[in-house]
Amino acid sequence: MDDDSYLTRSLGFLLADVARLLRRRFDAKAVELGLTRAQWRVLAQLRRRQGINQSALAEILEIEPITLVRHIDRLVAKNLVERRADPADRRAWRLYLKEEVQPVLDAMRAVSDDVRTEALAGVPPEEREKMIDNLLRMKENLSSFDEAAERRAVKRQTRPRPSDDTAPEDPAATVAPISPRARQTHGA
């Protein structure tokens, strides 16, 4: 085992390792429910966002739309999810949970609670809540950077591009000069 304290106590590595181990344990316990973790994630997000369209859900889950379509197809075949035409866009589908999904959600919640209990064994309840609060704060902090970057990207996209009328009269004025070293390297 690596005794390097940086790697052992690195927040990023530690969070990634804990998440991987949680997923592995969850998968092992949930196998008898007949759903994959990916399908469970789809159901959990749909529970929060009834009526979301497929492309927005794919973005939230950070998966390719075609991958989401395959998950949705399987959940529709299991009679847990339904697609409804989007009244605003005839090419899009809105996703809804069916009533039949509730026992599955309850069973998945029980598995999730079991895994959480196993993971937090030996951690006092007040420390558990403090840890969750701190993780929520970290999520909020990091999300604000994502939101600010998205706002800047939108602003850049909506900024008018210079037209031919506003182009500099001397195109050479916009070209960076060649450094002496570059001249030697390229024979200029």
pLDDT at 111: 92
CATH number for region 10-121: 1.10.10.10
Q: What is the Cα–Cα distance from 24 to 107, expressed in whole angstroms? A: 17
Mean pLDDT of the chain: 83
Could you report the per-residue pLDDT of 146-183, keeping only the tens digit for each? 777 777 777 776 666 555 454 445 444 444 444 444 44
Domain limits, the chain: 10-121, 124-158
Looking at per-residue pLDDT, the higher value among 8 and 79 belongs to 79
pLDDT at 144: 87
Q: What is the Cα–Cα distance from 77 to 113, expressed in whole angstroms? A: 27
pLDDT at 5: 78
pLDDT at 160: 60
